[in-house]
Structure 1
């Protein structure tokens, strides 16, 4: 894929139990952040992801929160009541909190709603979505998050990447992974006989993934690997 333009970055907080990892991800002049050194203007938060946001004392200029309130702690509910722009729209605020109420009985999760908001903002721009607390917790919720991200990246024509901290990268663009120690990983494609280019791993080169299990149990030779999805979306798991 031709990547002429810098990828636009979005940060999302979900309500899983896994926090973050020291593995760094780079994609066309854009790189991943760390939870302890997060410096962004805008953060998207799905429901109980606000609990993690407050617990880790994250700073930003604007929050876009969407949810049905079923996962919020009392502290998070009070935070929304105090800071949401639905209360006193004219007041000058250091932090803008845009609150979007969703129905409890709906046929999609809060994460997929945030992805739709991002889609409207980035129709013609490659994207880098970095997700904190997207894994762990209920396994069905974790799988739903991965499949929603996979669907989004596959259908986003300019291309993009979703990085779930602590284990999953879904990408249709070239990306580089940097880690402190040797890393064991597996890589999959949503197409049969997909061509993937891998550099810096035990099994490197132009590799044809004939079937889902073909990409199991690879490992880095050092601390840096480069992945090029030549024909389809890749799911990278470590």
Structure 2
């Protein structure tokens, strides 16, 4: 769905930040992520999960949104359920908040969820305090020239082949990166548009953002 974003809010660490929604955007709260929407005064179009971490039940009954209940014993995490739902409804751009911090296993599972997004041929960015991350698979990504600070690139596949990085402090052209040698740690933005691509493989890209964005 062009020019529309699926926003997903999880129950991890999250600092309220300005988010401007349009009528075409879809807002999904993955269980306790609903509390963040209440705190920020944002609408929830869908709330899903087993509802074991929501605390804002004082406004729950007054919320005019779709509620999808799942059992605690399931293969998909609440976050992955939300992602799959967004994809099934035609969304190709995902912005995820509250997906990191707290339990380490949840943070790792949400990074894996970014890999799932990339391998479905759509785009997703996971935001946390003053940094963001995305995963690309056999594709490319642009780091805006306004970016400041560190930009790190890691291979999530055994080998990511034909990796090119341009417009950052350290450039490479057509090199291979492996998942047992973190050579892409702490590259730096230099006021230029950064271009990162991988011909065959999966890359995790992390960069710093303004905490007030």
Q: Give the structure-1-normalised TM-score.
A: 0.73
Name the SS of the counterpart of 1:214 in structure 2. Answer: coil
Q: Residue 63 of structure 2 corresponds to which residue in structure 1? A: 83
Residues 163 and 198 in structure 2, CA contact (< 8 A), matched pair in contact too: yes
Deviations 1:150-185 (A, max 9, x none): 12322x1xx222111133211234332237563212
Where structure 2 has 5 or more consecutive residues not aligned to the other structure, the ranges are 208-213
Name the SS of the counterpart of 1:146 in structure 2. Answer: helix
Q: Residue 13 of structure 1 corresponds to which residue in structure 2? A: 9
Q: Residue 19 and residue 207 in structure 1: after superposition, are their counterparts in 2 closer, same or farther (change >3 A)?
A: farther
Q: Residue 48 of structure 2 corresponds to which residue in structure 1? A: 66
Q: Residue 119 of structure 1 corresponds to which residue in structure 2? A: 87
1:44 CA drift (Å): 1.1
CA distance in 2, matches of 1:138, 1:179: 33
1:115 CA drift (Å): 1.7
CA distance in 1, matches of 2:14, 2:162: 31
Q: Residue 94 of structure 1 corresponds to which residue in structure 2? A: none
1:14 CA drift (Å): 0.8
Q: Residue 195 of structure 1 corresponds to which residue in structure 2? A: 162
1:210 CA drift (Å): 3.0
- Given the alignment of the two structures, is residue 225 of structure 1 paired with residue 194 of structure 2, yes or no? yes
Q: Residue 132 and residue 40 in structure 1: after superposition, are their counterparts in 2 closer, same or farther (change >3 A)?
A: farther
Q: Residue 163 of structure 1 corresponds to which residue in structure 2? A: 125
Structure 1 vs Structure 2 CA RMSD: 2.4
Deviations 1:134-157 (A, max 9, x none): 111111111111112212322x1x
CA distance in 1, matches of 2:160, 2:117: 22
